[in-house]
Structure 1
Amino acid sequence: MLETFQELAPSMQIGLILLVLVACAYLLLPLVIKATLKHNADPSLDIFDPEITPIPQAAVEFFESTAREMEQVGFSIVEYVLVPDLVPDAIAVVMLFVNPMEQDQAIAAVIWGFTEQEDAKKISVRNDHVEFSTEFDDGSEIGTTNNTVEGAFAPVSHKTLLQFSDIKRPSRLYRVHQRAVEELAAGKKKRRLPPTEQLVEQLKQDLIKEFYDQIATGFLYLDSTQQYYLPTFKGAYLICWKQMWPITSVRRALRRRRATRLLREWDIDFSGIGSPMSSSDA
């Protein structure tokens, strides 16, 4: 076999080596995911005051600009919620919003992680996004987000999640969400929001349900201690593969194509104030 390899042209040798490396990555990296990925089955949700509890400056700026826009479209802030233990080495802060007139709710989330650096931990913001959500009496739900990260879990039948990652301004994203509700849930009755004092607990239950729903898909299972949702072998491979090149690039391109098509079908045009599918929308 070695002699056959040596007889190949240098370009073919390089190509073969790269192919073997990619194959090894596709086979071995999911095993790392299987061994390390875990989601807390009972995460802590702690209400806090951002003026007292310090958070990264990038998160402060994101929340301030988001809050201004959300107020313009009828949303008010319910609470700031810290989620410190959903997954290892990452912390999430969530602004919880409601629009009582429309019976819609929304979150603005910032997730950051820690890296060890010279005997100290360096904070790095990994992701920030806004998501609007409308639930209906039949148990279905429509969510509209500008999250730039491709989803890793399997879709579930009761939730339609639309992703417009290039629409950065919440006011414009909410316009898209309202149209999505009109088009995709015609005739359905919105479920009334729970009382304000129950909204944080409802957020926690919704978060846990995201993981619980993945048991039926075969992606996750609840460990014997019932403390963590862990990936099955099927889940580990599919979660990992969905985030790897070139699959993630193909998924991103298809998702953007779908977003563009929906905006065109719904006759939503942000031209003149920033293209709906470009970074100028920020």
Structure 2
Amino acid sequence: MTHFGIICPPVTGHLNPMTTLGYELQRRGHKVTSVSAALMINEDISVPPFNTAWKCDRTWRGKLRNRIGYRLLRQLRQPIRKTIAQYRREWNLSSHYSQNDAYSKLAQLCQQPAEFEFPRENLPSCFHSTGAYHNLMSRAKVDFPFEKLTGQPLIYASMGTLQNRLIGIFKTIAEACAGLNTALESIIHGVPMVAIPITNDQPGVAARIVWTGCGEMIKLSKLNVPQRQTAIERVFTQASYRDNAIRLQTANQQAGE
């Protein structure tokens, strides 16, 4: 038996998948005391930074663009990196020279299926794509008027862990913000998506939705009613989107085997 500690922000979008992981570890006979649930963030110049909606570009121009993007991201993280470096010196720990040095050398677990990620060149051997951490056991039951369903297509609206708390947003939106959990739950059910990324890792998730062909992305700055209607109609009527969503559904089911 191993004793695992699970650390994540105390918000629903992180707690739900991490609680599912905890249940599975307990089922296998381990002890769990409470790891983060987010898009793959390992730095790799062959793929864009996780917080951008940039397309995957394998040319030297694309890698140069990515390198510059990671440099800017490191500058934003500089205050945190300085604090971590100070504590590591005080505790006589080796220095970190890159962001990837901060990640475990024993095991790195990611709930993204490998097929829902750009092709990478430099993932460590201890990195494992396990598939989505979703389990109904880890969620409170919610009443839903299933009797009102008519069999017509549905549009599921989700604004992510933080934006979901802003009730006024739901007066104007009709699609998903491209949070990773929403995207993975859509993949679990083989459902195509229309993504409108807003912040954090949502642009990166949306870029992967487009790259894998399981949905469309509309940038927030270009959002209007005609574009939204066109994207929804395209995703509902063109079979390739659902076919790719089902392909990813199968990949997610087989991940971690």
Output the TM-score relative to the length of structure 1.
0.26
Richer in strand (by share): 1
Output the TM-score relative to the length of structure 2.
0.28
Richer in helix (by share): 2
Q: Which protein shows a greater Rg?
A: 1
